[in-house]
Structure 1
Amino acid sequence: MTGMMDPFTYTFANSSDLKLPVAVKVSRLEGYEKSLPYSTLLKRPDLRHRGSNLSPNSELYITLQPFADSKPLTVHSQTPYKHFKNGRIWNQWLTLPVDYSTLPANTQLAITLWDLSPINPKGGDQGHHIPFGGTTIPLYDDNATLRTGRQKCRVWRHKAADGYSDTTTPWRERKRRGRGGREEETVVVDEKRSRREAELERLVGLMKKHEMGEIPENKWLDQMVFRQIEKLERQSVKDSTRPKHVSTNGNGTADDGHQNGDVAPLCAEGDPDHVDGSFFLYIEFPRFDHPIVFMDHEYPPPPVSTIQTPPSQTTAAVNFKPPPEVQLGPGIHSDAEGTTDTDGGGGDMMRIYDPEVGYADNPAETKHRRLIRGQRSALDRDLKPNPKMRDFLNRVMSYGPTVELSDKEKDEVWRFRHHLTRDKRALTKLVKSVNWLEPAESRQAIASLPKWAEIDVDDALELLGPSVQNPAVRAYAVDRLRKADDEELLLYLLQLVQALKFEPEHAKEDDDTDSSLASFLIARSAANLKLGNFLHWYLMVELDDEAPAQAEKNKRLFARVSYDFMKELEATPEGRARRKVLLRQAEFITVLSKISKEIRDSRGDRLRKIEQLKKMVADPKNDLLTFDPPLPLPLDPDIKITGAISAESNVFKSTLLPLYLSFKTSTPGETYSLIFKTGDDLRQDQLVVQIIALMDRLLRKENLDLKLTPYRILATATLAGTVQFIPSSPISTILSSPKYKGSILGYLRSHNPPATPDSPSVLGVAKEAMETYVKSVAGYCVITYLLGVGDRHLDNLLIAEDGRFFHIDFGYILGRDPKPLAPLMKLSREMVEGMGGSGGEEGSQFEVFRQYCFTAYTTLRRSSSLILNLFALMQDAGIPGLAVVGGGEGGSVGKVEERFKLDVGEAEAVALFGALIEREMGAWGAVVIDRLHGLTQGWRA
C-alpha cells in the first residue's frame, strides 16, 4: 500500500497492484486404473508401447497455458523431463510470461499431461506425444478472489485441457441437475467410506492452516502426518472409481447416477480410451499476506461540465417541438412472445456508457463551429456588442479561473475577440474558447496576443497551468512575468517551479534549447543571490529520493534545470562565487541533518540529548563554530551567519525532537535563531506561510498593515527543513500563568504598559501594542478561515511581547481537521477578552476588530484569482494535504474558492462573514476541543 493509505487498515489487495508473473507449482499425480485387457491389446498393438501402459510411473510432462473467453492469453509453460521411481511427483514451479495485474477475471489455466507413444493415432507429423489427460481450473473463485494454496484437480483421461469458457475438462465435476433444474445431492450408503472422506477433508483443512503458519511446526511429527494424508488421498482416489451404491435426487427417488446423461460411465467396453480408473493432479498456487481481489481497469468519469443534462419532459414540451415518431426495426423492444413493440413508447432503451463522452467533441458541432468561425473571421474585426451582449460578456469576464465556459460563452468570446483586446481579464477566457487543434483558429488567436492589454500576474500564472499547452501563449505569460521585480517574483517562485512540469514535451527535446519558463527562471535567479538561493533549494526538494509520487520524467526535468542553472552560474565570476555559497549551504544543511538524526536516535532523556547537542555543535569536526567568510543562511540569504552559539542550543520537547540553534550574524551584537527538523514534511507549512506573505503584500498595497508575522520556512528535503524562531508565548502558557492573572490582557499589560501616565493607552495597554494585537488577530482570523486551517488549539496560537498574534503548525488545511466539531474560524473567548470583550464594555476594541476583518476579507476577495491560481499550480506537487482533497470536485482550488463566496455580491459576502464571527465566537465545540487538548498534553507531560 502507498503512504496515502497508512491511516487505514486493509484486509485485501487489488489484483491490479499485483505486478508479479503467474506461477503454479505442479506437485504430483495420484490415480488408479485397471490394466487394458489382452483382447484390446490384440486389436491395438500400438497401445502396448504407450508409456502409461508400460509402467504405472511412466514419464509424463505437463503444459500450462492461460485462457480467457476461449482464447489463449500467452504461450504455454512446460515441465522439464523427470524420471519417476515411486510416483509421478514433480514439485516444480511453472512461471508464465504474464502478470496477475493484466489478467481478466474469467482467466482459466488449461493444464494438460502428455504421454509418450511410438505411434500417434492422428498420424502425420504430430510427434510422439498424446494427451494423457487434462484439467481446467479458473484462476479466480466465484467471489472474484485469487485462488491460493493446494488444489486437487480432476484429470479427464485421454483429453487435452481445452480452456473453453464452457470447458469439457473442468477441474472438479459439476453438480448434476435433476428434473426441474434443481441440484441433486448424492447420499453414500458406505458409512466407512463417508467417514474416511470427512476425515480427509478435515486433515486437508488443517494442513492449509499449517502452511499459513497458523499451526506451530513440528518437523518429525509433520512428516508422519503428511505421509498418512497422502495414503488417505490415494485411497480416496481408488474409492472414486467405485460406483456409488445409492443416490437420491431432489424428489427422493432412487437414481443410478446416469439418468440425465450428465456423467458418462467411466468404462466403455472395448474402448481403449475408457478404462475403469480416476486420476487427480495436485497443484499449488502462491500464497500472499492478504486475499487478492480482482480489480479491473477503471476508466475515469467524463468531465461533469461537458455532460449536458437532458431537459425534463415538462421543459421540453414548453420550449421545443415534440419528438418525431420513430419506427423501430424488427427485434427491437420485442416481448417474450417474439412480437415487436412498434408504438414508439414501450420499453426502456438500454443506456451504454461511452468513454469518449466528455473527452471528444461532437463531430457535427465541431464542423459547425469551424464553418461559423471561418465565415465570420473577416467580419468580426469591427464587431461591437450591444448593451445586452456587453452585460453578457462582463458576466463572463467576472468568472473565476476554475469556471468552465459553455459553448455559447466560448462562441461569443471568440466573436468579440477584437473588441475584448482592451480588457486584460478577457485573454484567459479567449484561451479557453479557442480550439487549439484547429490551425486557422490558433493562428488568429496567437496573432491577437501583441494587441492585448497588459494582463495581471494572476492571469499570467493561469496561462502557465496544465490546461494551456500552446508554446506561444506560455511565452506571452512569461514575458508578463519579466516585468515583475525580484521581490514580487520571489512570492510566486515556489509555484513557478511546479509550473515547469506543464511545459510542452517538444520544448525540451533538444539539448541546446529549453522551455521559455525554465530559461527565464535560470536567467533571473543567476543574477540575484536571493532568487538563486530559493530556486536551488526548491529544485533540491523535487530531486530528493524520498519525494513521494514524483514521476521519473519530472525528476529528469528538474535535474536538467538544476544543471543548466549551475552552468549559468559558472559563466560569470559573480556566478561562480554564488555557486560556492550554495555548495557551502549544502554542507551546512548536511551537518545539521546528521546531528538531528543522531540526537533523535540516541538514548537518554531530553536533558542528556541537550548536552549531547551542545557538544556536537562545539565539536570542531562539524565546522559550526566559525563561518569564514560569513555564510548567507539558506532560510534567509539576507542574514549572514558567522558561527553557532553552542551554549544556547536546545532540544524541543516533541516527538521528532526538533533542534533549536542560535547563530551570530555579521551585524555586531545580533543573533539569529532557527529550528531544524528531520522526519517531518515541511512543504505544506512552507506553502501556507508563502500564501500568508503574499496576502500580507496584497493588504499592504491597499494601505492595510495587519501586523502579520509570516515567519520563514524552508524545506531542504522531503522530510527535513528549517523554521525561523520567533520569541513568543503560546496562549495556553499565558492563561495558566499567575503572573498574567490568566488572561491575554494581563500579558499585554505586563509587557506594554503606558510609557507615562499621559501616554495614549487602551485598557491599560500602550495604544500601539493594543492596535498590533487587534490587527493581527483580525488578519489571522480571515487568512486561516480562507485557507481552512485546522487543528487549532491554544498551543499553536502564539503572542509576541509587542502584541503580535500569529499561528504556527499548518499540518491540516483546506477544511481538514483531526477533531470533530472543529470551528471554521478560531476565535476563542480568551482572544476576544484580550481586546476588551464583545459586550460593549468601555474601551472594547471588538468593533474595531470586526471592521479590520471585513476590510481584509473584501480586499483579499478581490485578489481571489491570484490565490486560486497559486493553489492550482501546487495541486500536483505531491504535498499530502493537497493530495487528500485533490480528488474531490474542484480539488484544493475548490476548497479555497468556496470560502471566498464569489457567487454572491460583496455586501452579502461581508454579511455572511459577520455572521460567521458571531457564531464561532460563542461556539462551545471549540471550548471542548481546547479543554480536551489541554488534558491530553497534561497527561503526556
Structure 2
Amino acid sequence: MDPFTFACSSELNLPLAVKVTRLEGYEKPLPYSTLLKRPDLRHRGSNLSPNSELYVTVQPFAHSKPLTVPSQTPYKHFKNGRVWNQWLTLPVSYSTLPANTQLAITLWDLSPINPKGGDRNHHIPFGGTTIPLFNEEATLRTGRQKCRIWRHKAADGFSDTTTPWQERKGRLRKGLDEPTVVVDEKQSRREAELDRLVGLMKQQEMGEIPESKWLDSMVFRQIEKLERQSVRDTLRPKQPIQPNGTAIKPSEDGEPKVTLCAEGDPDHIDGAFFLYIELPRFDHPIVFTDHEYPPPPASSIHLPLLPNASGVNFKPPPEVHFGPGINSDAANTSDTDGGGRLIRIYDPEVGYADNPAETKHRRLIRGQRNALDRDLKPNPKMRDFLNRVMLYGPTVELSDKEKDEVWRFRHHLTRDKRALTKLVKSVNWNEQAESRQAIALLPKWAEIDVDDALELLGPSVQNPAVRAYAVDRLRKADDEELLLYLLQLVQALKFEPQHTRDDETDSSLASFVIARSAGNLKLGNFLYWYLMVELDDEAPTHSAENKKLFARVSFDFMKELEATPQGQARRKVLLRQGELITVLSKISKDIRSSRGDRIRKIEQLKKMLADPKNELLDFDPPLPLPLDPDVKITGVIPEEGNVFKSSLLPLYLSFTTSTNSAYGVIFKTGDDLRQDQLVIQIIALMDRLLLKENLDLKLTPYRILATSTLAGAVQFVPSTAVSAILNNSKYKGSILGYLRFHNPASSDTPSVLGVRKEVMDTYVKSVAGYCVITYLLGVGDRHLDNLLMTPDGHFFHIDFGYILGRDPKPMAPLMKLSKEMVEGMGGVAAGTESQFEAFRQYCFTAYTTLRRSSNLILNLFALMQEANIPGLAIMGAGDAAVRKVEERFKLDVSEDEALGFFAQLIEREMGAWAPVLIDRLHGLAQGWRA
C-alpha cells in the first residue's frame, strides 16, 4: 500500500467552524392570483427584492439530536447578491464530534406578519439544507461545498433528513413518484467541467498549484458563470419519463408541473437555490476516531488466592430489569419479571490501568538504553523540544512522548535545575529498576529552586527519597524565607507517605520543620498555632487521620523544644499565649451573646478587660504577641477597648508593649480567618519577590493569625476607608484632597499635585501593587469600604472573603480601579503632573516580575488544596484552585502579549460602569443597615 498520512479527529482540539459564503439561485415571482389569496406574502422580504436581507443559522446534529446551540450570522445589507463571507464558530470541538454529525443550515426570511398568528416569531424559513460533516469514508469534509436549499423548509438534523444537501442522482425533487429523468448531454458536460475546475481550485488553495493572479481572476469569473448557468439548468424544464415509459407533459408555459409549497402557503412557482459554504482545511486528511476510554477500576481479586474458580468471592451482580419482550430465558420467566440470571465471568485482565504489552515495551526500551543514555546529547530540534517542556507550569501533565524524551536525555538534563520536576513526572515509580536509576541521579542534579522543592513535596510525589531531596534543598533557606512557606509546609505533612507502624520515626519533612521551629522563637510560635488550628475539635472538616498526624507532630515538637537550652521558657510562653487567646475568645463570645446596644457592649468589654480575674492588665514577664512574636506586650489598655459595627461584633484591643507604645489588635470569633491569613501570606511573599527586583511598591501586608477555625486576630492599621474619604467635605470628597490635607506641599520639599512627592509616590506604587496582586489572586467583593488609606499615602485592601474569581455581585470587575483612585493620581490627562503613566509602568513591572515567579505561587496554592479552606474547597477537588490562579498569569502567551492584555485590562476597568453601580448599591445598602 502507498503511504497515507492522516490525522485523527479525536486529537483535533479546535472549535467547529464553517464559513457561510453566498447564496445563488433564481425563482419566478409570485403570480397575482396567489397574492390575492395570501396578501401577507406581498410584504415578505424575499418577495420584495431578489437581494433581500436573510440571516443564516448553523447547528450541529448527531443521532437526530442537537449537539449545541445554533450560531447565527450578523445582520448584513445586500446590494448585488446575497454574500456573507462570514465565519461562524460553534461551541463544540472536532475531537468530541460523532461520526454521523450533520450541519443543519437554515436561511431565515423576515415577514411583518406571522403566518401562524400572534405578535412574535416574524422570522420564517427561507430554506434549509443538511450536510454531513464526515463523508462515506469517515473523512472530514474540507473546503468549498455547494448545498441544495430546500425552499420553505427549516433544515432538520435527523438521520433520515428531509433536506439533504445533494439530490439523489437521476431523480426529480422529493415528493414525486420518482420518474426517470432524461439528462441533457450538454448540461452533463458543463457539470463535469465545473466539477473539474472546482477540484483544481481546491488544489490551488492547498498550495499544490502555483498562483497566477491575472489568470486566476479570469478562471474564477468563468467558474462563477458556470455555477450560475448550473443553477439556471436546474430551473430549466426537463423531460421526465414515468416508470411506464410515457413522458410527463409540460404545462402551457413550458414548465413541468412540479411545485414546492410552504406549509400553509399556496402553491409556489418552482425555483432552485444553492448555498455555498466553506469548511476549514488542514494539512492532512482528518479521519474520524473515537475516544479510547480507560479500563474499568482495578479488580480486587488476587490470583494467589484463586486455587480454583469456585473459591472466587464475586461481588453481588447489579439489579437488572429487562424491558418488555427482552428475555434471556423465555422458558422459565415472563416478560413482566426481571428476566434471566446473569452469568459472572472472571476476566484476569480487568483492572489493569495500562496496556501490559506497552508497559513491558517501555521497560525493555528504558532498561536497554541505560548505558547509551549517559553520553546522549540532543540535536537542535530536540533541544528546542526539551526547552519547551521545561517551561511547562506545575499543573501541566506530560504526554507519553514528552516523558520518554525527558527520560532518554536525563543525564544531559542534570545540569538544568528546572528539569528535575519533569523527570519525576516521567519516571514510572512502580518499576524498581527505573526508580533506582532516577534516585541515583539526584545527587548529580543542579541545585533546584525553592519553588521546585515545594512542588516535589506535593501530593503527586510519594517517593521518600525524592521528598527527602526536596527537604535538603529547604535546609539551605534561612529562617525568614522559611517563615514565608511554613503554612504550606505544615499542610504538606498530609502528603507524606503513610507509615506502617505507629512507632516508626517521623518523615524527613516533619523532622526538619520541628528542628528548625524549635531553634527559632518566631518559627516555633507560628508552627504551634498552625498545629492548633489543625487540632481544633470544633472543625468538622478535619479528618481523624489528619488530627492524629498533627497530634503526633505537636507532641514531637514539644519534646524537641524541651531538648533546647531555652525550651522550658519557650514552652511556658506558648502556654501563656494559649491562656490569653482562651480568655479573649470567652470575652468575645460573651459580648456577642449579651443583650443591649453597641454602647452597652463597649462598656461591658471595658469592664471585662479591667477585671483582675481575667489577668489582662499586667503581663510579667512581657509576653510575645502570638500575632507578631517580635512585639512583647505588657498588658491591655481597658479604656481603649471598642466593639466594631459588624454582625460578628469583632473586638478592638489596644496592648502596651515593652517599648511603651500601643499595638492595636482586632480579635474575632465566629469567623474563619484562614483564607485571609493565606492571602496576606501570599501578599507578603509577593512583596519579598518584588523587593528582590528592587521594586518597592509600599505594600501593607498586615498580620493575620487564625487561632482556630472560627477565631483569630488581625493587626489594626490606623487608616480611613476610601468611602469615608469621598464623603468627607474636609477632604473635598477626593483622595487627592485627603493626601493634600495630611501632606501639604511646602517650599522646602519636592511636591506633585500639591502633595509631598514621597507621599504621592507611596500612593501610586501601593495602588499599582494591589491592583496587580488582587487581580492575580482573583479577589472579589471589592467596594470602597474595604479599600483603606493611611495619612502617609499607603493604599491597601482588607477583607478577602472572596478569592479566585468568586464574587457575590454580578458583573464584578477583574481588577478594582475606580475613577476616584485614578483621580487621586491626577487623572489620565497628558501634559500635567498626572502620575497615571507611572502607575501603568509600575503595574507592568510588577506583573512581569510576579509572572516569572508564577511556579512558586502556584505550588504554594497546590500545597493548600487539602487545607479545607472554604474559598479553595468551593473550587472543587484537585488543582482547580491552582488553575484559576494560573489563568491570570497568562502563561500560555509571550510576555509582550501578556503585557498587552494587562494594558487593555487597565483601560477597560477604568471606563467600566458596573463597578460604579456596585459601589452605589453597596453604599445604599450600608446606609440602610445603619
Confirm or deny: 8 A CA contact 2:825 2:834 kept in the other structure.
yes
Q: Tell me the equivalent position of 1:626.
A: 618
1:784, CA displacement in angstroms? 0.2
Q: Tell me the equivalent position of 1:548.
A: 540
Q: Tell me the equivalent position of 2:522.
A: 530
Confirm or deny: 8 A CA contact 2:518 2:564 kept in the other structure.
no
Coordinate RMSD, CA, aligned: 2.2
Q: Tell me the equivalent position of 2:591.
A: 599
2: CA distance between counterparts of 1:583 and 1:466? 33
**Cα distance change, pair 503–907 in 1 and its aligned pair in 2 (3 A):** same
1: CA distance between counterparts of 2:893 and 2:400? 24
> Is 1:689 paired with 2:680?
yes
- The one-letter amino acid paired with 1:709 is T
> Is 1:847 paired with 2:837?
yes
> Is 1:783 paired with 2:768?
no
Q: Tell me the equivalent position of 2:855.
A: 865
**SS of aligned partner of 1:806:** strand
Which residues in structure 2 correspond to 1:178-257 (within 5 Å)? none
1:368, CA displacement in angstroms? 1.1
Q: Tell me the equivalent position of 1:806.
A: 796
1:363, CA displacement in angstroms? 1.5
Q: Tell me the equivalent position of 1:457.
A: 450
Q: Tell me the equivalent position of 2:311.
A: none
Q: Tell me the equivalent position of 1:933.
A: 922
Q: Tell me the equivalent position of 1:748.
A: 739
- The one-letter amino acid paired with 1:587 is E
**SS of aligned partner of 2:482:** helix
2: CA distance between counterparts of 1:851 and 1:675? 35
Query: For 1:578, which of 570, 573, 576 is the aligned residue?
Result: 570
Query: For 1:796, which of 772, 778, 786 is the aligned residue?
Result: 786
Which residues in structure 2 correspond to 1:612-761 (within 5 Å)? 612-668=604-660, 670-754=661-745, 756-761=746-751
Q: Tell me the equivalent position of 2:489.
A: 496
- The one-letter amino acid paired with 2:598 is R
Comparing 725-734 and 539-548, the one that deviates more: 539-548
1:548, CA displacement in angstroms? 3.4
Q: Tell me the equivalent position of 1:897.
A: 886
Q: Tell me the equivalent position of 1:422.
A: 415
- The one-letter amino acid paired with 1:901 is K
- The one-letter amino acid paired with 1:867 is I
- The one-letter amino acid paired with 2:915 is A
TM-superposition CA deviations, 1:519-567 (whole Å, max 9, x none): 0000000000000000000000000012232121111000000000011
Confirm or deny: 8 A CA contact 1:651 1:658 kept in the other structure.
yes
- The one-letter amino acid paired with 1:421 is T
**SS of aligned partner of 1:886:** coil
Q: Tell me the equivalent position of 1:907.
A: 896
1: CA distance between counterparts of 2:673 and 2:540? 14
TM-score by length of 1: 0.62
Confirm or deny: 8 A CA contact 1:459 1:866 kept in the other structure.
yes
Q: Tell me the equivalent position of 1:519.
A: 511
How many matched pairs?
596
Confirm or deny: 8 A CA contact 2:763 2:793 kept in the other structure.
yes
1:753, CA displacement in angstroms? 1.1
1:841, CA displacement in angstroms? 5.5
**SS of aligned partner of 2:649:** coil
2: CA distance between counterparts of 1:576 and 1:867? 37
Confirm or deny: 8 A CA contact 2:519 2:564 kept in the other structure.
no
> Is 1:412 paired with 2:423?
no
**Cα distance change, pair 673–355 in 1 and its aligned pair in 2 (3 A):** farther
Confirm or deny: 8 A CA contact 1:548 1:878 kept in the other structure.
no
Q: Tell me the equivalent position of 2:827.
A: 837
Unmatched runs of 5 consecutive residues or more in structure 1:
1-310, 319-335, 337-353
TM-superposition CA deviations, 1:546-603 (whole Å, max 9, x none): 2232121111000000000011111233011100000000000000000000000000
**SS of aligned partner of 1:379:** helix
**SS of aligned partner of 2:566:** helix
Q: Tell me the equivalent position of 1:277.
A: none
TM-superposition CA deviations, 1:301-321 (whole Å, max 9, x none): xxxxxxxxxx99943499xxx
2: CA distance between counterparts of 1:766 and 1:373? 67
1: CA distance between counterparts of 2:434 and 2:836? 57
Q: Tell me the equivalent position of 1:271.
A: none
Query: For 2:286, which of 315, 339, 357 is the aligned residue?
Result: 315
**SS of aligned partner of 1:822:** coil
1:733, CA displacement in angstroms? 0.2
> Is 1:396 paired with 2:389?
yes
**Cα distance change, pair 513–317 in 1 and its aligned pair in 2 (3 A):** closer
Identity %: 82
Query: For 2:909, which of 880, 895, 920 is the aligned residue?
Result: 920
1:758, CA displacement in angstroms? 3.6
TM-score by length of 2: 0.63
1:359, CA displacement in angstroms? 8.2
1: CA distance between counterparts of 2:546 and 2:748? 64
**SS of aligned partner of 2:793:** coil
2: CA distance between counterparts of 1:356 and 1:768? 73
Unmatched runs of 5 consecutive residues or more in structure 2:
1-281, 290-324, 326-346
TM-superposition CA deviations, 1:49-78 (whole Å, max 9, x none): xxxxxxxxxxxxxxxxxxxxxxxxxxxxxx
- The one-letter amino acid paired with 1:518 is A
**Cα distance change, pair 383–616 in 1 and its aligned pair in 2 (3 A):** same
TM-superposition CA deviations, 1:433-492 (whole Å, max 9, x none): 000000000000000000000000000000000000000000000000000000000000
**SS of aligned partner of 2:652:** strand
Confirm or deny: 8 A CA contact 1:713 1:722 kept in the other structure.
yes
**Cα distance change, pair 584–557 in 1 and its aligned pair in 2 (3 A):** same
- The one-letter amino acid paired with 1:489 is L
- The one-letter amino acid paired with 1:369 is R
Q: Tell me the equivalent position of 1:447.
A: 440
**SS of aligned partner of 1:673:** strand
**SS of aligned partner of 1:421:** helix
TM-superposition CA deviations, 1:202-238 (whole Å, max 9, x none): xxxxxxxxxxxxxxxxxxxxxxxxxxxxxxxxxxxxx
Confirm or deny: 8 A CA contact 1:875 1:886 kept in the other structure.
no
Confirm or deny: 8 A CA contact 2:804 2:885 kept in the other structure.
yes
1:357, CA displacement in angstroms? 11
Confirm or deny: 8 A CA contact 2:669 2:710 kept in the other structure.
yes
2: CA distance between counterparts of 1:513 and 1:487? 28
- The one-letter amino acid paired with 1:315 is I
Q: Tell me the equivalent position of 1:65.
A: none
2: CA distance between counterparts of 1:751 and 1:509? 65
Q: Tell me the equivalent position of 1:876.
A: 866
TM-superposition CA deviations, 1:801-841 (whole Å, max 9, x none): 10000000000000000000100000000000000001325
TM-superposition CA deviations, 1:767-796 (whole Å, max 9, x none): 000000000000000000000000000000
2: CA distance between counterparts of 1:361 and 1:864? 33
**Cα distance change, pair 357–901 in 1 and its aligned pair in 2 (3 A):** farther
**SS of aligned partner of 1:676:** strand
2: CA distance between counterparts of 1:547 and 1:774? 42
- The one-letter amino acid paired with 2:428 is N
**Cα distance change, pair 743–817 in 1 and its aligned pair in 2 (3 A):** same
- The one-letter amino acid paired with 2:559 is K
1:757, CA displacement in angstroms? 1.5
- The one-letter amino acid paired with 1:483 is K
**Cα distance change, pair 931–841 in 1 and its aligned pair in 2 (3 A):** farther
